[in-house]
Amino acid sequence: MNDTPKTLDDLRHEIDRIDDAMHRLLIERGGIIDALVRVKRTGETGSAFRPGREADMMRRLVARHSGRLPFSAVENIWRTIISGFTHVQAPYAVHVDMSSDPAGMRDLARFQMGFDVPLIAYDSADAVVSAVSASQGDLGLIGLGVTRSPWWLNIGPGKPQVMARLPFLIYPDRPAATPAVVIAKPLGDAAVDEIAVVAADFAAAPPAGMFDVITETVGGDRWRGLVAIPSARVPEGAVRVGSYAQPIDLADTAAPAAAAG
């Protein structure tokens, strides 16, 4: 066995070897894009965004991760890769509601979509809904919490819908943790139906804990909000305005990423 301590040069050679391999793999990943676009018929729908597939990839990443690199860095690298490959398949912009917590929304948009996707800022959620409605395959990012305007009245069947809930991976001190939803037209097989988003309109606020309220109006003569319900349990006649993959709280998993993160 050779016990000679490695020099700085040796160690940097090892890092170069690993970086070369990672870069080669990224180039190889890019090589399958043309075939993917044909198989998915992305040209016909104009959107490559598949949040269900992205959720599965993130779940596998969580299950596999170990080592020194914080999980947030790994998540961010993969978000940049996935978002970059989504954009090269069919260019899109992300319209962001900056009416509340603009710094948090910008961080979230960049963490989630990287820096190659054009980001367009708006001062209301309604303006984001209009922009996504007028586009082919653009995405909208709308913050959750309380709102003056029930912006969801203009989404639903035949229109843009809620397609993802962010952050998808929940862990302590995570960056880009501002709660938000992604809206988009559910083109191709893009929709993922685990948790349904239902528009509710009641004379008064429902008792605390009755629903998983993800956003609600303040003021006004009625209580309006969006509630999240497991898709299999949505009552008949409910007004569905989208659905998303169930986010993962790493505190509830035994995944190594929970410890590494």
Choose which of 25, 36, 134, 259 interacts with ligand PRE (CB under 6 A). 36
Q: Which is nearer to ligand PRE, 50 or 185 (CB)?
A: 50
Cβ 220 to ligand PRE, closest distance in Å?
36
| N-terminal to C-terminal alpha carbon distance within the chain | 35
Query: Could you give the CA distance from residue 172 to residue 212 in angstroms, rounded to a whole number?
Result: 21
Residues binding ligand PRE: number (CB under 6 A): 11
**What's the closest the beta carbon of residue 18 comes to ligand PRE, in angstroms?**
21
Q: Which 149-168 residues touch ligand PRE, going by CB under 6 A?
A: none
Nearest CB to ligand PRE, comparing residues 72 and 112 = 112
Cβ neighbour number for residue 177 with a 10 Å cutoff: 17
218 closest CA partner among 158, 139, 148, 152: 148
238, 202 Cβ separation under 8 angstroms: no
- Residue 53 or 240 having the CB closest to ligand PRE: 53
Residue 63 is encoded by which pair of tokens?
Answer: 């299950």
Q: In the bound complex, what is the minimum distance in angstroms from residue 116's beta carbon to ligand PRE?
A: 13
The smaller minimum CB distance to ligand PRE, of residues 86 and 135, is found at: 86
Residues paired with 228 in a beta bridge: 197, 212
In the complex, least distance from residue 231 CB atom to ligand PRE, rounded to whole angstroms: 20
Question: Which residue's Cβ has the minimum distance to ligand PRE?
Answer: 85
Answer positive or negative: Cα dihedral of 80, 167, 193, 95: negative
Residues 77-136 that bind ligand PRE (CB under 6 A): 82, 85-86, 89
Listed in sequence order, the residues at least 6 apart from 217 whose beta carbon sits closer than 8 Å to its beta carbon are: 146, 147, 148, 149, 150, 223, 224, 225
Ranges of beta strands (E only) in 59-194 are: 94-97, 119-122, 139-143, 145-147, 161-166, 169-170, 180-184
Task: Please report whether residue 227 would count as binding ligand PRE according to CB under 6 A.
Answer: no
Q: Which of residues 39-58 bind ligand PRE (CB under 6 A)?
A: 40, 48-50, 53-54
Q: Which residues bind ligand PRE (CB under 6 A)?
A: 36, 40, 48-50, 53-54, 82, 85-86, 89
